[in-house]
Amino acid sequence: MSFEIPDDLRYRETHEWTTTGDTVRFGISDFAQDELGDIVFVELPDVGDTVEQTGEFGVVESIKAVSDIYAPVSGEVTAVNDAVFDKPELVNEDPYGDGWLIEIEVSDEGEFDDLLDADEYEAQIE
């Protein structure tokens, strides 16, 4: 089974993705949503909260597991995708699009160096 792994994103080993720049979006990878199965609940921080690269920023719950989700880079939350609260299945259906989770203003762009690129992430999940 091959998974979608967009080239323009960076990935955390724990299967979260982020866009690059000074304001970025986070989500979970196609591989992660497939592993979890049907997602039924998503817990996210509020706008204005701070997230740390070393810490979890929310929870994704599926019919078979509960997983903490970790921030690829640190920063302050500027937007939250409210749509996934009512329709958690968006994360399954469109993990890189409508199923995005939060947007943050990055506090240290150097942190991107700690992340995997698409090829490295692909090698990890193979």
Partner 1 sequence: MTTGGTPFAPHTDADVEAMLEEIGAGDESELFDIPEEVAFEGKLDIEARDEPAVKSDVSRMFARNDDLTEFLGRGHYSHYVPSLVDHLSMRAEFLTSYTQYQPEITQGFLQVLFEYQSMIVELTGLEVANCSMYDGASALGEAATLASRLRRVSGDTMLVPTHLRDGKQSVLENYCDGAGLVVETYSMDDGAVDVGALEDRMDDDVVAVYVENPTVRGVIQEELGAVGNLADEHDALFVYGTDPVALALLEQPAELGVDVVVGEADTLGLPTSFGMGLGLFATKEEYLRQVPGRLVGASDDDAGNRAYTLTLQTREQHIRKERATSNICTNQAWVALRTAMHAALLGPTGLVDLATDAVENASELSGRIDELSGFRAPVHDRHHFREFLVRSDQPAAAIAGDLETEGYAVHVVDDHLLQVCVTDTNEAAMDDLVAAFEEVAR
Residues that bind partner 1 (CB under 8 A): 41, 43, 46, 59, 61, 66, 68
Q: Which is nearer to partner 1, 66 or 83 (CB)?
A: 66
Question: Do 81 and 110 meet the contact criterion of CB atoms below 8 Å apart?
Answer: no
Least distance (Å) between residue 104 CB and partner 1: 18
Least distance (Å) between residue 118 CB and partner 1: 31
Cα separation values, 122 from 3, 8, 113, Å = 9, 13, 17
Least distance (Å) between residue 61 CB and partner 1: 5
